[in-house]
Amino acid sequence: MMESINIILEGLPTLLKGMGMTVEVTVISLILAMIIGLILGVFSITKSKVLRAIATAFVDIIRGTPLLVQILFIYFGIPSVVDISLTAFSAGVIAITVNATAYLVEIFRAGINSIDKGQMEAGRTIGLSYAQTMRLIILPQATRRMIPAFVNQFIVSIKDTSLLSVIGLAELTLSGQSIYAVNFRAFEILFAVGVLYFVIIYSLTLFSRWLERRLDVA
């Protein structure tokens, strides 16, 4: 028992560094995905057929292909035909951003559509433009309803970062693999990796519950 604990403690600094990389990639990716997802989410509900088609095509393509394929395509595929060089970190952020965006588009679309259409009409009646009504009236209400879905996507993206190990990004999973490849103590190291993932995800879950109560989300 003590030997197993010592194995975990010896590998903990490396695992914590990998955990930090996992969180960093996820946070940066989700911030970018929220911005792009909001834009495409608005596109998906506009009257413009072109904008709706762009949003629909993006969502269908990304959700219709495995994330692992997207990661490999971005890291190996694109640089093979375009004169660019991507680091594993950059490729990882782009891949997680693109994948998360496709799901956030649907979250934004559903959230905005959940607000009574009378709210938009009321905003336009008092002289606000479509953009102003969306920004000042619709989105603040919709965002409160979307909080659980946002947190769920955050959790999903954290788990998805484990796939970035295939391109050599030293996130939590690859950090664990690098340790037990040397000491051959896979059980203890993978147990520690699982615990660290649980700590991140459970902390997010508790924060989500607190935020929902704070904002009195229906």
- All domains in the chain, ordered by first residue: 2-215 (1.10.3720.10)
How far is 101 from 106, CA to CA, in rounded Å? 9
Cα dist from 62 to 7, 36, 71, 176, 210, whole Å: 40, 14, 11, 29, 32
- Assess contact for 25 and 95: CB atoms under 8 A: no
pTM over 0.85: yes
How far is 191 from 103, CA to CA, in rounded Å? 30
**Over its length of 218 residues, how does the chain's per-residue pLDDT go in tens digits?**
788 889 899 999 999 999 999 999 999 999 999 999 999 999 999 889 999 999 999 999 999 999 999 999 999 999 999 988 899 999 999 999 999 999 999 999 999 888 888 888 888 788 888 788 888 888 888 888 888 889 899 999 999 999 999 999 989 999 999 999 998 889 999 999 999 999 999 998 898 888 877 776 54
